[in-house]
Amino acid sequence: MSASPRPAVVVILAAGEGTRMRSALPKVLHCVAGRSLVEHVVESAAHLSPARVVVVVGHGREQVTAHITEISPWVTTVVQEEQLGTGHAVRVTLAAMGAIEGGPVVVLTGDTPLLTGVTLETLLAHHSATDAAATVLTAVLEDPTGYGRIVRGSDGQVRQIVEHRDADDAVLSINEINSGMYVFDAAQLAAALAQITTANAQGEEYLTDVIAILSTSGARVEAIAASDPTEIMGVNDRVQLAEASALMRDRINARWMRAGVTMVDPSSVWIDVDVDLARDVTLLPDTHLIGPTVIAEGAVVGPGTTLKACEVGERATVRHTWAELAVIGPDASVGPYTYLRPGTMLGARTKAGAFVEMKNASLGEGSKVPHLSYVGDAQIGEGSNIGASTVFVNYDGVEKHTTVIGDQVRVGSDTMLVAPVTIGDGAYTAAGSVITEDVPPGAMAVARAQQRNIEGWVERRRGGTKSAQAAARAKDNPKEDA
């Protein structure tokens, strides 16, 4: 296959309202696998290295334009004030662009997230190899309801596209449908658009009418069918959005499994397009990897884990965890039931155990927070252990303060570390202490009331209770080793 010319422009139609989504959000901004519908289309268009990509906006134009600017500043938008049809949309766009030179025009729609760059390359290659005026991407569907039908002549050449609403029974029985994706010769497209009318069931300017105009004038119109018909699937409502998400999930998961990732139950694993996984990663059921999450070789993630924009090191294990913008070092152990908030940095061989919440906190190599603790705004050195139920008291009601803990520190269970406070290398804190002052290296900090036992209190004050009876029995028969 010889190299195809790059398109002069890819036009992405996205001005429609998307009424059936029943949403405050414009349809093309709904997401599949962590990207908006239109971003998926822009991504596949980028495979063709077009000179320009233009998104046609109308309904919700402010939101759509702002989104386009954010995701791909190199893509421009053209406003179609009134949605007078797909032909009108392309006509307005070409008019806004002036002379189009140096390559064909590709037209796509903004609601087809499953379209691949490879399919577009095939379409473009076919177009230039046949020197066609127009090439239509089609699909053969068991149920073609609603789509425009591809009408071919006895010679197999495409004659016209007839919209479902304008079709008679003979045309309705055709299973080859128009995907709404095309490649056009720029000059012939512009000339044909000047001739289209609104004489149809919807009173709109149909882009599809260009096909009959070109064919009648003797120009060559080609059509090729997508090898995978799901690629041309458009999202019109939330049911189709869920279908597209599931198809995308299966596609992404198949790619990662072929790249050496183990998934016990791929139907319950959801991976965004921007995720990067090394080989021999294991993903257990009900795992969601969101945004630019990166997982290194041999790590085991899940079950029941959501990682958003996280980095997981080699051989780390992360179970029943919710983490966002956290770095989990190699051989670290996280979970079960752990909440890692932005700015958590777990070093190599660290542990953040059950019912631990961390935020803006770093844990040096080999340090552990095994159980039931809150660690906020803290720097913890290497080889330190934070006892169960420790709270880093970082908030005085107005401001947040930092706790610094050195290397090889032993924080006793149920310690309150009232920040700002520093615990020196090798220091200990006694269980149940409220630490408000710095602890020098190697010191034991005790900050709690002295214990006092009031002998005989239960018999005197709670006489007759089961506790009093048990106490009396113990007095009569002292335990041998007591």
> Which residues in this chain contact Ca ion in the complex, by CB under 5 A?
234
Return the structure tokens found at 34.
């962590």
Q: Going along 337-419, which residue ranges are E strands? A: 338-340, 345-346, 351-363, 368-380, 385-386, 391-393, 403-405, 410-411, 416-418
Annotated catalytic sites, by residue? 371
Judged by beta carbon, residue 115 or residue 284, the one nearer ligand UD1 is 115
Shortest reach from residue 59's CB to ligand UD1, in Å: 8
For residue 207, the minimal CB distance to ligand UD1 (Å) is 5
Give the Cβ contact number of residue 93 at 10 Å: 25
Minimum distance, C-beta of residue 146 to Ca ion, in the bound complex (Å)? 8
Site for ligand UD1 in 280-339 (CB under 6 A): none
Tell me whether residue 86 or residue 390 sits nearer to ligand UD1 (CB atom): 86
Torsion over CA of 174, 180, 186 and 189, rounded to 10 degrees? 50
User: Between residues 84 and 151, which has the closer beta carbon with respect to ligand UD1?
Assistant: 84
For ligand UD1, the binding residues in 59-88 under the rule CB under 6 A are 80, 83-86, 88
Choose the contact partner of 120 out of ligand UD1, Ca ion, none; CB within 5 to 8 A by kind: none
Q: For ligand UD1, which is the closer residue by CB, 149 or 308?
A: 149
Cα torsion 4, 10, 16, 18 to 10°: value is 60
CB of 186 to ligand UD1, least distance (A): 19
Least separation, in Å, of the C-beta of 222 and ligand UD1? 16
Nearer to ligand UD1, 15 or 183 (CB): 15
How many other C-beta atoms can be found within 10 angstroms of the C-beta atom of residue 127? 26
Strand positions, DSSP E, 209-350: 221-225, 262-263, 269-271, 276-277, 282-283, 287-290, 294-295, 300-301, 305-308, 311-312, 317-318, 321-324, 327-328, 333-334, 338-340, 345-346
Which 194-213 residues touch ligand UD1, going by CB under 6 A? 206-208
Nearest to 469, CA basis, from 478, 460, 479, 459:
459
- Which stretch, 7-15, 123-131, 271-279, 460-468, contacts ligand UD1 (CB under 6 A)? 7-15
The residue (of 54 and 372) whose beta carbon lies closer to ligand UD1 is 54
C-beta of 181: minimal distance to Ca ion in Å? 12
Under DSSP, the state recorded for 235 is P
Distances (CA, A) of 481 to 218, 455, 468, 472, 473: 107, 20, 22, 18, 16
Nearest to 141 by CA among 94, 177, 110: 177
Site for ligand UD1 in 212-241 (CB under 6 A): 234
**Residue nearest ligand UD1, Cβ-based:** 148
Token pair recorded at residue 199: 């004489």
Q: What is the CA radius of gyration of the chain?
A: 33
Q: Which residue in the set 180, 347, 387, 412 belongs to the binding site for ligand UD1 (CB under 6 A)?
A: 180
Pick one of Ca ion, ligand UD1, none as the site partner of residue 16 (Cβ within 5 to 8 A by kind). ligand UD1
Smaller CB separation from ligand UD1, 21 or 363: 21
Q: Which residue is it, tokens 């004489």? A: 199
Contact 384, 411 (CB under 8 A): yes
Q: How far is the CB of 296 from Ca ion (least distance, A)?
A: 42
Which one of ligand UD1, Ca ion, none is in contact with 147 (Cβ closer than 5 to 8 A by kind)? Answer: ligand UD1
CA dist list (Å): 125 to 88, 122, 222: 27, 5, 12
Query: Which stretches of 131-237 are DSSP H helices?
Result: 169-172, 186-193, 209-216
Q: Is 57 exposed, middle or buried (0-12, 13-18, 19+ CB in 10 A)?
A: buried
Which one of Ca ion, ligand UD1, none is in contact with 85 (Cβ closer than 5 to 8 A by kind)?
A: ligand UD1
Count of Cβ atoms closer than 10 Å to residue 481 Cβ: 4
| Interface segment toward ligand UD1; rule CB under 6 A; list 2-10, 118-126, 175-183, 323-331 | 175-183
- State the minimum distance, in angstroms, from the CB of residue 172 to ligand UD1: 13
Binding to ligand UD1 by residue 26, rule CB under 6 A? Answer: no
Going by C-alpha positions, the residue among 115, 3, 94 that lies closest to residue 52 is: 94
Question: Of 178, 321, 362, 390, which one interacts with ligand UD1 (CB under 6 A)?
Answer: 178
The count of C-alpha atoms lying within 13 angstroms of the C-alpha of 20, restricted to the half-sphere facing its C-beta, is: 9
Of 231 and 311, nearer to Ca ion (C-beta) is: 231
The count of other CB atoms within 10 Å of the CB of residue 104 is 28
366 touching ligand UD1, by CB under 6 A: no
Which string of x and - marks every residue 84-123 that binds ligand UD1 (by CB under 6 A)? xxx-xx-------------------xxx------------
Q: Which does 413 bind (CB under 5 to 8 A by kind): Ca ion, ligand UD1, none?
A: none
Nearer to Ca ion, 36 or 373 (CB): 36
When asked if residue 147 is in the footprint of ligand UD1 (CB under 6 A), the reply is yes
**Cα–Cα distance for residue pair 51/239, rounded to 1 Å:** 35
Residues in region 149-168 near ligand UD1 by CB under 6 A: 161, 163
Q: Which residues here bind ligand UD1, judged by CB under 6 A? A: 13-16, 56, 80, 83-86, 88-89, 109-111, 147-148, 161, 163, 177-180, 206-208, 234
